Structure 1
Amino acid sequence: MAAVVLGDVLPLIGVALGAAGAFAGQFLAMRETKKEAATAAAAVLRAERKEFFLEFLEACQRAERSAEHHFHAGQRAKDAAELTHQVWFRQKCIALVASPNAQRAAEGFALALTAAVHDGTPEGVHISELLRDKRNRFLDAAAAELGTDIQG
């Protein structure tokens, strides 16, 4: 009789072990899938941030050329309003996806640049000197956000 019971129990143990192994395998596979999905989502967000940072910098570069015109010609460029509008639009795009630190840095750079485009620079101060600190703060914040911070 013991042999009959053992004959019935051993297959059940095998089924239980097989089911446990299948569940464990599914759990590990699902955990890896979640990690992969999180990694992919982080990569998409990083790419989006990078795109917004680059578009902001491009708008700032155009506005900075306008500020240089103001510095050299002593008068505001005709397209100054449109250029600063683009800077502020791009700054708002950054506000949608970036950290508070990067948002503040972009806003500080945009404020300084807007003032330089519309009001010029103090006597004897070149535009690049006036904007250097704000630009570098933004670049440092963007680099840190993208994981490319080479300074620290």
Structure 2
Amino acid sequence: MNFRIAIASVAFVEILLAPGARAADSADATFIAQGNQQWAAGRIDDAKKSFEQALAADPRSIDAHMKLAGLLLVNHNYAEAIQAYQRTIGLDANNAKAWMGLGLACLHSGQRELSRAAFGEAVRIDPRRKTQLAGLIEETAE
């Protein structure tokens, strides 16, 4: 992987994992909070299980889908991250962060055309992302 992709990946993971809308006080929110703590403590397998429990409690929880997808992405499990982002997009096709995550996972797995398309969709949904994604979009054209 080249250095530009690595640096951009770190920056985008921070954007993707930034808190979204506050989760309701429910079982899925409890599991998400638990997963966040486990992730911060480096207990990746436990965090993954907690995010999966959040999804079992509420299969439509965008926050839980995004947390699981982000965890998979930062741990280089790109195939599963792609599937997780696709499930998120299936629930919310206008989620620019999910499209960005999908683009990043596709880029890391060598799927440049799919990556470029996903980044393009993120920019279409949220034009402010164009500047953030410019380097990665350029990278997909090489």
TM-score with structure 2 setting the length: 0.29
> Which structure ranks higher in relative contact order (CA pairs < 8 Å, sequence separation ≥ 6)?
1
Q: Which has the higher helix share?
A: 1
TM-score (norm 1): 0.27
Q: Which has the larger radius of gyration?
A: 1
